[in-house]
Amino acid sequence: MKQNHNIIHYTSLFIAFLLIVSCGRHSSKTNDPVVYAQADDPELEQARNEAINSLDYFIKSFSEHRSDSIFNYSLKVDFVDNGQHEFMWIDLEKIENEQFIGYLGNEPQIIKNVKYGEMISVDKSQIEDWIIVDSRTNTWEGGFSVKVFLKRNSK
């Protein structure tokens, strides 16, 4: 039976976690609740398009501030295992040869081919969203899917 839902880790708690421990990298698990969304959700598709269209900004910022512990750079990635999709965040450590490399920041709930804290390497095609958290000002940029869920949660 084909599933109509993709698994998405809810990101508002992730943002709060990053704002509090933004330079902790992969030292603590996030306890993001799991949120189900339709695979063809138009708002999430628009959020993904915004993230992809502005990914060069994220890459440029990461390149300029990579060693600055004030900023935390994370990517929401589409992980697939046996046809099951689960969207989780990785804390970006480096970009090499068009690969985005970082530590998995969520505990997988559905897929079994990756583990929390594992070093992950992904290419651009797997990226669904990005977020930059500034611990000085407790502000963030990107997080397009986060904004969708926060808007829905406030209703």
Q: What is the pLDDT of residues 119-153, one digit of tens each?
A: 999 999 999 999 999 989 888 999 998 888 888 77
Report the alpha-carbon distance of residue 74 to residue 4 in Å, rounded. Answer: 27
pLDDT on residue 32: 59
Query: Structure tokens of 117?
Result: 């804290």
Query: How many of the other CB atoms lie within 10 Å of CB of 18?
Result: 25
Note the pLDDT tens digit of each residue in 88-105: 999 999 999 999 999 999
| Domain tally, the chain | 1
**Boundaries of domain holding 76:** 5-153
What percent of the chain is predicted at pLDDT more than 70? 74
Global confidence as pTM: 0.79
pLDDT on residue 29: 54
CA 17 to chain centroid: 13
CA 120 to chain centroid: 12
CA within 13 Å, CB half, 110: 21
| Enclosing H/E stretch for 96 | strand 84-96
